[in-house]
């Protein structure tokens, strides 16, 4: 092995281990994130303590209200008699200027449509939990996109006295349409219809709630949709809200582990590497925090939406008419939970600013929520660039175009036949090979012809052994290849065109929710790795399991490498290339053992079809045909000299200039 080969091999190792190092957060990044998390936790703790003190002070000042006052209050709000009776002899609950008088100010209500179940609380009027009906976790738990927490959603603002109001501690009155709800209920969205829930916190003057002055959280659910219309209305309360206050929207969620992946207390590979906070500024394309790592970002520009994305599911908070004017913080932390809980993935939090218009007595924060799967057609159909959350290789050497306009449409078409998804992967691989067959034919044909030209090539190498004779040797090789019908681009052009497809497949299969929990042969989930043996120890990079599809892919790639290297024996090549080619299958074995089974199936059958094409073409291209073509070309050149192509002329000119420069250096060294 010469010096250049050793340098090339070392560079490959450095790139490989450099990538591993790059995806691992540094100590400084971890420490910075922990400091930032501690600061946030302290701020939240102080805010909670302040709210508790305010609530306790309000309760201490609360007095009983007479029956006459109660009837007056009921008349002001225009409530039904049944509600008035429930309000009799009930102490008031007062927080700053907002209050309600219901018997049980804190209770839950659940809403179900055809796709999910959403739990809400009257205390804070926030979404407490979202469970998708058509999906479950890898271990058959209910799939929660939003996990129960009283601090899931809060809006902070200042009242006219300068006191900070937190909606998370406000007791809201609940209405379903025009009817008021006073106890825990389970509601179902009617088919082909919608259901509206209105949570109202009334302004209180002299212990009396005012009917036409309230803060309202309004949710509209639809029967067959993952979207929820969400409006926050400040109705006739501009005199009670600080004029130049900024509405701070705080959105938190503990993300649970949903998928089967390589898991340990220190590492959650697979699902973690597809988890991030995505966001879109008003004038820019969607951006995101670095996947699988602790991170934080602040934005001073208007923000249209923020999404908490996992491998196959996401929760999105979006604006409709007016953007969030900034994002004071978007934070993602994977290391907050120190208990090693296998169901825990990470924590996500956002603090978003929203401009308040004090001149508008009916000011509305027009927003929308989405809780659902990361399906390309579903996300793209909302026309908000949500599909860019899917890792389709956006902007990477046409990879996104291959995914969007070739792979995904054909994949969706094959789904309509009702086949097993493993069969769909195999058929899709075959169709791609068929489309690329004209290019691969030229590549394999060149390889087959060169195998028969080995004696002539060896003769040329012996005829021009010196380095200063490189131009003559190149010209002789080009002339021989031209006679045999070999194109200089026959080998590299097909590989260049196939490269975006390989990258697109590498990104598409692990991110395709259609493959999630779909079985094929011994594999129970094509979107994750298949395991035929769980090891009692962990092998670095490889993992603690054995993937059979990965072993099949490795065996096919190793056999392919051995066969192609055997066919190239005797041809001019770098001395260290053989070792590097044999090393590649072993490196792929380690890298792909924890990749999705669908990806290993694709690469296995792609190599299998490549082998079949190679055998067929080499059986068709015989030595007699090659010799006959050379003889015919030589006969034609004698009668009609052929002109050199522009590419060949430029190649020879570049070679000539290189030789002249080399001669000049040699002359300078001699002097």
**CB–CB of 287/280 below 8 Å?**
yes
Q: How far is it, in rounded angstroms, from Cα 216 to Cα 184?
A: 19
Q: How many residues make up the chain in this entry?
A: 671
pLDDT computed for residue 209 by the predictor? 63
pLDDT tens sequence across 326-382: 999 999 998 655 556 778 888 999 999 999 988 888 999 999 999 999 999 999 999
Q: How confident is the model at residue 66 (pLDDT cuts 50, 70, 90)?
A: very low
pLDDT tops 70 at residue 638: no
CATH of 22-61+93-99+107-389, one of 2.60.120.10, 3.60.15.10, 3.40.50.11900, 2.70.98.90: 2.70.98.90
C-alpha distance from residue 72 to each of 206, 235, 305, 627 (Å): 13, 21, 44, 108
All structural domains of the chain with their residue ranges: 22-61+93-99+107-389, 398-638, 641-670
Mean of pLDDT values over 84-92 = 35
Mean pLDDT of 188-199: 93
Identify the pLDDT of residue 349: 94
Is the entire prediction scored with pTM above 0.75? no
Model confidence band, residue 535 (pLDDT cutoffs 50, 70, 90)? confident
Residue 43 has pLDDT above 60, yes or no: no
Question: Range with the lowest mean pLDDT among 309-313, 376-380, 484-488, 593-597?
Answer: 484-488
* Phi, psi (rounded to 5 degrees) for 115: -120, -30
Residue 449 has a pLDDT of: 61
Residue 471 CA to residue 237 CA, distance in Å, equals 86
What's the distance, Cα to Cα, between the start and end of the chain in Å? 32
pLDDT tens readout for residues 248-298: 999 999 998 888 876 544 445 678 888 999 999 988 889 999 888 889 999
Beta strands in 113-226 (DSSP E): 116-121, 127-136, 142-146, 153-158, 164-166, 173-176, 179-181, 185-188, 194-205, 208-222
| Structure-token pair, residue 414 | 């094959």
* The pLDDT of residue 10 is above 60: no
> Is 400 a residue whose pLDDT tops 90?
no
Tens-place pLDDT, residues 495-532:
676 777 878 888 888 889 999 999 999 999 898 888 88
And the tokens for 472? 């003559």
- What is the pLDDT confidence band of residue 103, given thresholds at 50, 70 and 90? very low
DSSP 8-state assignment for residue 406? I
Q: What local confidence, expressed as pLDDT, does residue 489 receive?
A: 55
Calculate ∠ Cα 337-343-348, nearest 5°: 55
506 Cβ contact partners less than 8 Å away, ≥ 6 residues apart: 599
Instruction: Name which residue leads in pLDDT, 401 or 478.
Output: 401
Per-residue pLDDT reduced to its tens digit, 473-490 = 666 666 666 665 666 555
Alpha-carbon distance 198 to 232, whole Å? Answer: 10
Q: Please report how the helices 623-639 and 470-484 are oriented relative to each other, as an axis angle in degrees rounded to 10.
A: 110
List alpha helices for 211-262, DSSP H: none
**Spatial CA neighbour of 157 closest among 230, 234, 211:** 234
Each residue of 131-188: pLDDT tens digit?
999 999 988 899 999 998 878 999 999 888 788 889 988 889 899 988 888 888 999 9
pLDDT value of position 87: 34
pLDDT, the chain, mean: 76
Q: Tell me the per-residue pLDDT of 545-585, one tens digit each, with 9 for 90 and over.
A: 899 999 999 999 888 888 777 765 544 445 556 677 778 88
pLDDT of residue 247: 92
Nearest Cα to Cα of residue 604 among 513, 517, 496, 523: 523
């Amino acid at each position: 092995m010469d010096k250049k080969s050793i340098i090339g091999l070392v560079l490959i190792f450095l790139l490989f281990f450099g990538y591993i190092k790059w995806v691992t957060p540094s100590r400084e990044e971890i420490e910075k994130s922990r400091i930032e998390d501690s600061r946030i936790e302290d701020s939240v703790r102080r805010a909670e303590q302040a709210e508790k003190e305010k609530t306790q002070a309000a309760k201490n000042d609360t007095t009983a209200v007479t029956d006459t006052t109660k009837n007056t209050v009921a008349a002001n709000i225009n409530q039904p008699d049944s509600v008035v009776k429930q309000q009799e002899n009930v102490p008031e609950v007062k927080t700053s200027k907002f209050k309600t008088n219901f018997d049980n100010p804190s209770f839950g209500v659940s809403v179900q449509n055809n796709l999910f179940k959403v739990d809400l609380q009257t205390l804070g009027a926030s979404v407490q939990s979202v469970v998708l009906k058509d999906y479950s976790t890898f271990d058959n738990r209910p799939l929660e996109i939003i996990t129960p927490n009283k601090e899931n959603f809060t809006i902070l603002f200042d009242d006219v006295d300068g006191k900070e109001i937190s909606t998370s501690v406000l007791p809201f009155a609940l209405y379903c349409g025009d009817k008021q709800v006073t106890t825990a209920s389970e509601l179902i969205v009617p088919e082909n219809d919608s259901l509206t829930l209105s949570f109202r916190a009334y302004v209180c003057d002299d212990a009396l709630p005012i009917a036409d002055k309230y803060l309202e959280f309004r949710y509209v659910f639809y029967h067959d949709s993952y979207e929820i219309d969400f409006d926050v209305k400040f109705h006739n309360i501009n005199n009670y809200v600080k004029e130049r206050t900024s509405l701070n929207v705080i959105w938190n969620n503990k993300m649970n582990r949903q998928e089967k992946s390589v898991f340990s207390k220190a590492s959650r590979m697979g699902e973690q590497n597809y988890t991030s906070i995505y966001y879109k500024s008003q004038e820019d394309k969607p951006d995101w925090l670095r996947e699988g790592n602790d991170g934080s970002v602040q934005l001073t520009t208007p923000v249209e939406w923020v999404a908490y994305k996992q491998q196959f599911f996401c929760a999105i908070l979006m604006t409709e008419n007016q953007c969030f004017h900034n994002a004071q913080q978007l934070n993602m932390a994977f290391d907050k939970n120190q208990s090693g809980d296998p169901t825990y993935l990470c924590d996500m939090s956002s603090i978003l600013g929203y401009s308040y218009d004090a001149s508008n007595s009916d000011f509305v924060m027009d927003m929308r929520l989405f809780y659902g799967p990361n399906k390309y057609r579903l996300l793209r159909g909302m026309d908000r660039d949500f599909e860019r959350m899917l890792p389709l290789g956006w902007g990477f050497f046409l990879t996104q175009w291959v995914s969007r306009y070739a792979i995904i449409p054909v994949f969706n078409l094959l789904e309509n036949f009702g086949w097993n998804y493993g069969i769909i992967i195999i058929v899709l691989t075959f169709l791609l090979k068929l489309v690329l067959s004209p290019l691969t034919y030229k590549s394999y044909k060149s390889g087959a012809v060169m195998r028969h030209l080995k004696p002539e090539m060896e003769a040329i190498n012996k005829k021009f052994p010196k380095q200063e004779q490189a131009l003559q040797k190149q010209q002789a090789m080009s002339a021989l290849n031209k006679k045999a019908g070999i194109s200089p681009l026959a080998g590299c052009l097909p590989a260049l065109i196939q490269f975006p497809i390989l990258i697109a497949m590498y990104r598409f299969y692990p991110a395709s929710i259609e493959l999630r929990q779909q079985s094929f042969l011994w594999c129970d989930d094509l979107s994750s790795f298949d395991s035929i043996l769980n090891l009692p120890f962990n092998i670095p990079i490889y993992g603690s399991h054995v993937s059979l599809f990965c072993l099949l892919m490795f065996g096919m790639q190793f056999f392919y490498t051995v066969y192609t290297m055997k066919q190239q024996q005797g041809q001019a090549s770098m001395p260290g290339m053989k070792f590097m080619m044999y090393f590649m299958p072993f490196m792929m074995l380690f890298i792909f053992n924890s990749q999705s089974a669908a990806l290993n199936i694709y690469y296995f059958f792609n190599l299998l079809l490549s082998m079949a094409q190679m055998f067929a073409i080499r059986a068709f291209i015989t030595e007699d045909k090659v010799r006959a073509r050379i003889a015919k070309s030589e006969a034609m050149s004698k009668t009609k000299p052929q002109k050199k192509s522009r590419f060949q002329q430029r190649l020879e000119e570049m070679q000539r200039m290189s030789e002249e420069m080399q001669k000049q250096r040699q002359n300078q060294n001699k002097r």
